[in-house]
Amino acid sequence: MRRHSVLAAVLMGFIIAPAFALSQSFTDKAKKDSAVEMSDEEPAMQKAMERARTSLDDFLRKAGAPPPDTDYYSVKVRVREGESLEYLWLSNLKTQGELWSGRIDNVPMIRSVKKGQSYSFAKSEIVDWTYIDKSQKKVVGNFTTCALLTKEPPDVAQKIQKQYGLDCDR
């Protein structure tokens, strides 16, 4: 089981979200900077990561020169510590030749990295990406959160999608 964080969706929601109750399992974990557990081998997660990979180059170009009314560019990367594997959201992205770096935005369970720390990674370690389109009041990308929502009851998943402006139907 791999740890997938939902932090980015929750943090970005304060910009665009109406106030109504969400699923306790999903929202409470996100507020505690915890995670919803889902294997990265599950079909929904595989599809989400593939969607992110196929659009990654376009995202990275956009992140390098963000259009007006967009903000909060982040990537989810695979971080290894021995046999442990965790997926973490990073923002403040910078390119360093073949490598990238960003600030870790959630509290890792692994001990080799910490929230707020700068972390360098290869493009191949990126499994998801996201940003806010403020003009359209929606979250763009964040495909793995859509996969995680498949674990929620359909009505709750729809409310979360609407609240955060997630397009999970593509």
pLDDT in tens, 94-145: 998 889 999 999 889 899 999 999 999 999 999 999 999 999 888 999 999 9
State the pLDDT at residue 13.
39
State the pLDDT at residue 70.
95
State the pLDDT at residue 119.
96
- Residue pLDDT, tens place only, 148-165: 898 889 999 899 888 888
pTM over 0.75: yes
Longest dimension (CA), the chain: 45
pLDDT band, very low/low/confident/very high, at 22 (cuts 50, 70, 90) = very low
Spatial contact of 9 and 142, defined as CB atoms under 8 Å apart: yes
Phi, psi (degrees; rounded to nearest 5) at 101: -140, 160
Q: How many CB atoms lie within 10 A of CB 55?
A: 15
Spatial contact of 127 and 49, defined as CB atoms under 8 Å apart: yes
pLDDT band, very low/low/confident/very high, at 11 (cuts 50, 70, 90) = very low
Residue located via tokens 């992205």: 93
User: Residue 9: pLDDT above 60?
Assistant: no
State the pLDDT at residue 63.
93
